[in-house]
Amino acid sequence: MISMFRTLVVLSGLTAIAFGQPAPNPDAKSLAGNLRIRQAQVAGVLKRSIDKMPEEHFAFKPVETVRSFGELASHVAESQYAFCSAAMGEKSPGTKVPATGTKAELSAAFSAAADYCDKAYKAVTDASAVELVKLFGSDSTRAGVLQFNTAHLFEHYGNMVTYMRIKGIVPPSSEPRR
């Protein structure tokens, strides 16, 4: 029976690979692992979006009342410091990312912020995920803070997708799977 189970697991992994889907991730079997998986997913598409958008479109706003693409890139970089420092129980480094920076500067700033956040996601365990930390002056679980960060990033990735579509650019999450 165990041999049959192993065969099914191997076959499902090979089928997933054949159809361009990632093999099952053992980290997905834990709360902390799921937090890491989703953060890596959104950080990846955000970074690829920043890198894919031509620099001449960084000042683009669909309407005057919303952030430009560059302002969104700055915002998602800066916000990660606030969320992830709270999750780690640290004082935020308060890193400011100029919204009018160049594409290279904004891409580097996002990468630095994502690297900073990686420390928080790598350090969390299922046990530490339920510990209370302060976020914006209120108590929250560490997992809640990290989930809020990831949800916030997905929200703004959605904004970026719209901007990219308006400019005729296929966003990273819609690119063909390899």
* Count of all residues that appear for the chain in the document: 178
| Interacting residues of 19 by C-beta distance below 8 A, sequence separation 6+ | none
CA distance 160 to 158: 5
State the Cα angle at 43 between 178 and 64, rounded to 5°.
Answer: 110
Per-residue pLDDT at 110: 95
Encode the chain (178 residues) as per-residue pLDDT tens digits: 444 334 334 434 443 443 345 555 667 788 999 999 999 999 999 999 999 999 999 999 999 999 999 999 999 999 999 999 999 999 988 778 888 889 999 999 999 999 999 999 999 999 999 999 999 989 999 999 999 999 999 999 999 999 999 999 999 998 887 7
The pLDDT value given to residue 23: 52
Q: Report the CATH superfamily, name and number, of domain 25-171.
A: dinb family like domain (1.20.120.450)
Q: How far apart are the first and last CA of the chain?
A: 34
The answer to whether 101 and 70 have CB atoms below 8 angstroms apart is: yes
Domain boundaries, the chain: 25-171
